[in-house]
Every structure is written in C-alpha cells, then in structure tokens.
Structure 1
C-alpha cells in the first residue's frame, strides 16, 4: 500500500506532518484526531479503511505539528483543517473526526462547506460550551507534561472495552509531546466556541457514531445533533463509552466504509 508522511506548510503559518496512505485514485478521507492525541490514534482504524486515500495529519499543538502560542480557537482549528486540504491539493474530501476532532470537523463543514463531501462523527459533541470539570487540572499544568499526568487524565473517559496497552502507551507519548500551553489553549478554544450547529448549517451527508455508555456526551445531545444535520444518520454502539475510536476501531471502519461507499462520488 502506498504510504508516506508529508510535511505540509499551511497558509495559516504552521507546518504539520500528514500521513498519506492508500490508492491515489481512491476517494479522499481526511482524519481529524482528538485533543491531546495525534494521527497515531487512527493506527487501529486504518486497516479497515483500505478502500480510501487516507490523509491523517497531526493538528496544531499536537503530535509532531508546530506548537505556536496561539491559533487554537475552534474557528482557527477549522481553518487549519481547510488549509491542510489545500496544501494537499484536494478540492474536497470526506472527513472523519474523533471526539473533539469531530467538533472541528463540524466547524469545518459550517465555515468551509465546499471542501467537505461528507462527515463521519465518532463520539463527537453537540456542544462543548461551559468549562468542563477537568479544566482546573489542565490549567495547573506546567512543562514538561508528565506521562503520569497524561495517563491519569484517561480516567476522565472511562473505557468499557479492553484496549491494547501498546495503544494506550502511544497516547501517553502523544500527551507528553504537547507543551502545557497547547493543552490549555486547545481546550479553551473548544469550550469557549459557539457550537458549530448553532453558528451555521451543515449540509454534508453525515454519519454519527456514539457509544451508549458515554458519560460525557448525553444521548439527547446526539439526537439533537442528528436533528440539526438534515438527513444525517445516528448509529448507537451499546457496548462502547466516549472513546468509540479506541474501543471499536473495526466497527467504526466498517460503518464508515459502508456509509461513505453509499454516497455518489465516494464509492
């Protein structure tokens, strides 16, 4: 399989690495990772997405991307995503976002609808407005961020299914790579933003995947999200919690492939 990591210089002024994998003639699929993670969080998903041309960047402040002091509002994060597509020479792509990456994907679809062919929202919020209970822990962070702190932070999102230890340790390494200012400012950019579906309209075909044991995102919010995106489909995983991508990568890949393959121009 064709695979490489490209360094992309974005018009927004930063440089990010982007994994490019799959048949160059296949339908393009942009993967947006969650806060505190990296493109590596999709490692267990990728084998199930073999029918697509995958583009998986590290986002600003995370992974091996540049980590400037600013540029972390939700709107700026969405602008980065649009700039990534531009730097890749893509006019349009389907977008899959995990957790807060799905929030960025929604904002991208609102602000730059012309570049979003379809959305797959995996454990993604309707709204993050209001200061979350763990924000105080984040505000107390200083450099260097410790692996123990990152590992302890996973308790904010309890797992239902077993996840391989190597994958969890990779996510610890993701967190340690982030400076304290990135942890803080990305989170603030998320919870201070007007929710995307209140700021505008999403017209892209959308699949919403949600774990029924999610203690962070209530079912009612997912129903509202589905109602606000005309023609969207909500699939509930009864045996998963918030970290759907971590717990159910095979099922997420299968459902995303089936959904996107049913859309004209994306099969």
Structure 2
C-alpha cells in the first residue's frame, strides 16, 4: 500500500484504482477509505483515489490536534505522492468540510468540486439537534441511532449490512475524539466565496444529521455553485440512493471534462 508523507512527517495511506480522469473521494468523520466501497463501481472509467484520514486505517495516528484544514493539507500530500497536479474532488460529510478547505487553500489542485451532506461549520451552518447529540452519546443506543440517521427505515429493513459508514472500529479512542473536535470546529465560511472550482452540492431532504438547509447555504456562498436535493434520502444518500446520486455526480463531472 502506498503512503504519502505530510509536511509534519505523518504517513497517510492512500489507494488508487482504475485509469482515466482522477477523482479523489473523501470519507466522513472517523471513517477510512472503506466508506466508499459499496459504490466504487459507479465510478468505473476514472482513476479513483481514496485515503485513510490520519487517525484511521493504515495511516499514522498521532495524538495531537486535528483540523479539517489540516486534513486538506494531507489530501495535497496524497495528490503529490500520486503524481497528480490536480483532480476532481468528491467529499461527503466531514470529507465535504475538508474539500471546502482544499478548494480554498489549493484552488489549482481542484478541477471540480462535489460537496455531499456537509456544512460550512457550526458558526454559520445548521447543526443537528441536542436530542440527536444526546442519543449519539448514549453507548447503548449510539450505533442504532447512527444507522437510523444514515438510512431510511425501509432500507434498513431490507439490508442487514455490512455497513460502511459507522466509523473505523480500529481507531484508538483518542483519535475518535480528535476527529470529533476537528469536525465540530470547522468554519470555512469566510473562505467559501473564494472557491473558483465548479461546484455541485448534494444533500438528502430527510438528513437531520447534517440538516438539509446547509445545502443552500453552501450554494449561496460559493460562486456559481448549485444544490441538488435527493428526495427522501438521509445522511448516507450516496449509498442508499446511489441510483440517483452517482449519475448526478457523473453528469456534473463529465460536463467539467468537456469544459
């Protein structure tokens, strides 16, 4: 497995699959590259780059302050290691927060940007309710609560798993805490108007984990961005509603290929 070396010496594990236009897929908080496993085949014909965030998977797990802006620097290190001057970027949940910083701080590296089920940060965005926070903090309920935030009841009734969006079980507890703080402290609001990459924003209409109102906030803040809402979808829209979401992403990216 290849590794990228960051400026602070941390090793970031990354994976490369296929050939074609490069597309970097960025996973959610406390998850590694397997977040994307159920839908990788949807993007056949592209060179897919995934990675394990620091603190997850095969990447190093330093016990130090993490940030979404710092994670974006790790993505730049992966691009460098993979020999890519630029790529298309698709980030979901915390990965979408990281993608915002990547597009702000390294605009020359981002050819097109897709932000899924994400937000500009707590200071200006819409946050989940205190009721949800309390339920997730209860160890006896947290996994089931998270599943129900990710997927609709009907989908859960038909699918016994495995589930790929519940977090990296190999993470040390300190790294989980570092990820949580990094995501909670995200605030890219002031930089969003500086994004120059063509941008598509996707969000499920029934997402209360990252409330759907964040989609239009981002679309209004990023020049030229547009938001598409996926009816009935919750936070893991990209998996349960892949038949809608993946074609929308591919159509957008193909349009940028031709531009």
Scaled by the length of structure 2, the TM-score of the pair is: 0.86
Residue 165 in 1 paired to residue 157 in 2?
no
Residue 46 in 1 paired to residue 47 in 2?
no
Q: What is the aligned partner in structure 1 of residue 179 from structure 2? A: 186
- Provide the C-alpha distance between the structure 2 equivalents of 1:108 and 1:217, rounded to a whole number of angstroms: 20
Contact kept in structure 2, 1:138 and 1:184, CA below 8 Å: no
Quote the offset at 1:128 in angstroms. 3.2
Q: What is the aligned partner in structure 1 of residue 70 from structure 2? A: 76
Residue from 3, 6, 18 that aligns with 1:22: 18
CA 1:150–1:89: 2 relative to 1, 3 Å: farther
- Provide the C-alpha distance between the structure 2 equivalents of 1:253 and 1:225, rounded to a whole number of angstroms: 20
Contact kept in structure 2, 1:8 and 1:84, CA below 8 Å: yes
- Provide the C-alpha distance between the structure 2 equivalents of 1:138 and 1:222, rounded to a whole number of angstroms: 23
Q: Output the aligned Cα RMSD.
A: 2.6
Contact kept in structure 2, 1:12 and 1:79, CA below 8 Å: no
Quote the offset at 1:157 in angstroms. 2.0
Q: What is the aligned partner in structure 2 of residue 253 from structure 1? A: 246
- Provide the C-alpha distance between the structure 2 equivalents of 1:110 and 1:64, rounded to a whole number of angstroms: 27
Write the mapping of 1:8-19 to structure 2, written as runs, cut at 5 A.
8-19=4-15
- Provide the C-alpha distance between the structure 2 equivalents of 1:155 and 1:263, rounded to a whole number of angstroms: 34
Q: What is the aligned partner in structure 1 of residue 100 from structure 2? A: 106
Quote the offset at 1:123 in angstroms. 0.9
- Provide the C-alpha distance between the structure 2 equivalents of 1:111 and 1:135, rounded to a whole number of angstroms: 31
Write the mapping of 1:83-122 to structure 2, written as runs, cut at 5 A.
83-122=77-116
- Paired residues in the alignment total 251
Q: What is the aligned partner in structure 1 of residue 190 from structure 2? A: 198
- Provide the C-alpha distance between the structure 2 equivalents of 1:149 and 1:103, rounded to a whole number of angstroms: 27
- Provide the C-alpha distance between the structure 2 equivalents of 1:111 and 1:37, rounded to a whole number of angstroms: 23
Write the mapping of 1:99-248 to structure 2, written as runs, cut at 5 A.
99-129=93-123, 133=130, 151-152=143-144, 154-155=146-147, 157-160=149-152, 162=155, 164-168=159-163, 170-172=164-166, 174-193=167-186, 195-200=187-192, 201-248=194-241
Q: What is the aligned partner in structure 2 of residue 143 from structure 1? A: none
1:254 is paired with a residue of what secondary structure?
A: helix
CA 1:116–1:15: 2 relative to 1, 3 Å: same
Contact kept in structure 2, 1:10 and 1:87, CA below 8 Å: no
CA 1:137–1:183: 2 relative to 1, 3 Å: farther
Structure 1: which 5+ residue stretches go unaligned? 141-145
